[in-house]
């Protein structure tokens, strides 16, 4: 579990204004919000890429804001991250990319490291692409390879920064489901930063809505339909499709009550 307590962060102007929330273990925790709302800054602050101005971020009770550099480095070995652009190393094959964290931190034999990497790649259905380079595979496959690399060291915490950007709806769905399956299978604390409403409705087990640098709402994907939070409703139900969906949901709920 990751707890964020009263976190403030500003660059030229305040970006995060006293955000407090909890990201639960074994669940896909989503951070949603409009562009410029501060959700990426929140995620990067939680990961430790940005240092916070004040407040505390606790990884199962360990406060990352109070850690020394070396302690932070050790903590990061428990973290896997899926970047928006996959961030696979261009000069390495897919297998080498996934083996890379093991090469750096594992004392297993070469054969064992290779086995573990292949297991992770097969888990994301990329067993056939071991010797291909990132430039030779599609965006969806790159995302899956990046997920395999993120989980190869059995992380306790998985961060996904806009995992669906640039992907078609079908591939997005596959990536979302894969993230959720892996979260449940390995009991990871997963945090997904997204503004894709399909993802929210698919894997939103714990959603944090950030509006103008503040936590405006928190709940599950089912709670969204009954939310009274105006900024959230404006954001989630912006398209006609979701407006209709909300009406249909309200209709079915009232029918059920009757």
30-59 positions binding other proteins, by CB under 8 A: 47, 49
Q: What is the DSSP letter of 24?
A: -
Contact flag: residue 169 with other proteins (CB under 8 A): no
* 23/159 with CB nearer other proteins: 159
Among the listed residues 6, 54, 60, 89, the single contact to other proteins using CB under 8 A = 89
End-to-end Cα, the chain, rounded Å: 40
- Burial readout 40-72 (b: 16 or more C-beta within 10 A, e: otherwise): bbbbebbbbebebeebebbbeeeebbebeeeee
* 47/229 with CB nearer other proteins: 47
| H helix count then E strand count, the chain | 9, 10
DSSP-derived pairing of the beta strands 206-211 and 28-32: parallel
* 33/80 with CB nearer other proteins: 80
Element (H, E) at 22: strand 14-23
Contact flag: residue 81 with other proteins (CB under 8 A): yes
Distance, in Å, from the CA atom of 133 to the CA atom of 129, rounded to the nearest integer, reads 9
Among the listed residues 60, 74, 177, 250, the single contact to other proteins using CB under 8 A = 74
* 67/229 with CB nearer other proteins: 67
* 88/208 with CB nearer other proteins: 88
Contact flag: residue 88 with other proteins (CB under 8 A): yes
Contacts to other proteins by CB under 8 A: 47, 49, 73-77, 79, 81, 83-85, 87-90, 101, 103-105, 159
């Amino acid at each position: 579990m990751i707890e964020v307590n009263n976190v403030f962060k500003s660059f030229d102007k305040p970006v995060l204004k006293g955000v407090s929330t909890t990201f639960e273990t074994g669940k896909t925790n989503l951070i949603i919000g409009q562009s410029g709302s501060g959700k990426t800054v929140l995620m990067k602050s939680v990961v430790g890429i940005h240092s916070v101005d004040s407040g505390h971020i606790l990884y199962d009770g360990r406060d990352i804001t109070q850690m020394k550099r070396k302690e932070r480095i050790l903590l990061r070995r428990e973290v896997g991250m899926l970047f928006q652009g996959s961030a696979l190393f261009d000069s390495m094959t897919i297998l080498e990319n996934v083996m890379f964290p093991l090469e750096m931190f594992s004392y297993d034999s070469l054969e064992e490291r290779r086995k573990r990497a292949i297991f992770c790649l097969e888990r994301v259905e990329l067993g056939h692409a071991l010797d291909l380079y990132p430039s030779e595979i599609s965006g969806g496959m790159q995302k899956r390879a990046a997920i395999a690399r993120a989980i190869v060291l059995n992380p306790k915490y998985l961060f996904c920064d806009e995992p669906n950007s640039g992907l078609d709806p079908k591939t997005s769905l596959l990536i979302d489901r894969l993230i959720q399956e892996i979260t449940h299978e390995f009991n990871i604390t997963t945090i997904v930063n997204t503004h894709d409403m399909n993802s929210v409705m698919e894997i939103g087990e714990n959603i944090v809505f950030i509006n103008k640098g503040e936590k405006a709402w928190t709940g599950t994907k089912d709670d969204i339909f009954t939310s009274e939070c105006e900024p959230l409703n404006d954001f989630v139900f912006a398209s006609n499709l979701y407006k209709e969906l909300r009406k249909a949901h309200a209709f079915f709920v009232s029918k059920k009550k009757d």
